[in-house]
Amino acid sequence: MANNITFTMLKPDSVEKGNIGAILEKITSSGFRIVAMKLTQLTTADAEAFYAIHKDRPFFGDLVTYMTRGPIVAAILEKDNAVEDFRALIGATNPAEAAEGTIRNMFADSISENAVHGSDSDDNAAIESAFHFSGREMF
């Protein structure tokens, strides 16, 4: 797939805190076009599959509990160099290390509850987009 799409989730803490609008504004004003978007909730099986790469990490159980405890906003975003530019926009996994003005710096509370997901490669952007959306939900 071309290097112009990435996949994001506004995680349950962002929805709970009423930050959907503010985070989407930051994303679109940074030049990302919304290709697909929905409010949805992960099942335990969904979260375990989505984060399967982390299944042996000590935080895996807490991660699945966190990611399934309430609705999320899932979206596909388009921009040149989307994966790398979006990772720069969200900042480091640990918000304490995220640069000033990044989404995690502004909206995240901790390394575990860090507001947003961003794909880490073009391959994963394609896999994660297909996990959440059918072709007819993409515009």
Q: How far is the CB of 139 from ligand IDP (least distance, A)?
A: 26
Contact 38, 138 (CB under 8 A): no
Binding region for ligand IDP (CB under 6 A) out of 25-33, 40-48, 68-76, 108-116: 108-116
Which of 112, 124, 126, 130 lies at the binding interface for ligand IDP (CB under 6 A)?
112
**Within 10 A of 38 (CB to CB), how many other CB atoms are there?**
12
Sign of CA dihedral 75, 50, 104, 22: positive
Quote the least distance from Cβ 38 to ligand IDP, whole Å: 20
71, 40 in Cβ contact below 8 A?
yes
Segment (H or E) for 124: helix 122-132
Whether residue 117 lies in the annotated active site: yes
User: Which region, judged by CB under 6 A, interacts with ligand IDP, from 31-39, 69-77, 109-117, 121-129?
Assistant: 109-117
Q: Per DSSP, what are the bridge partners of residue 77?
A: 6, 34
| 26 touches ligand IDP (CB under 6 A) | no
Query: Contact between 59 and ligand IDP (CB under 6 A)?
Result: yes
Query: Of 8, 117, 119, 128, which is the active-site residue?
Result: 117
Closest contact distance (angstroms) between CB of 136 and ligand IDP is 28
- List the one residue out of 67, 82, 53, 60 whose CA is nearest residue 11: 67
Structure tokens belonging to residue 21: 């609008």
> Which residues contribute to the site for ligand IDP (CB under 6 A)?
54, 59, 63, 93, 111-112, 114, 117, 120
> Which residues contribute to the site for Mg ion (CB under 5 A)?
120
Q: What positions carry a catalytic annotation? A: 117
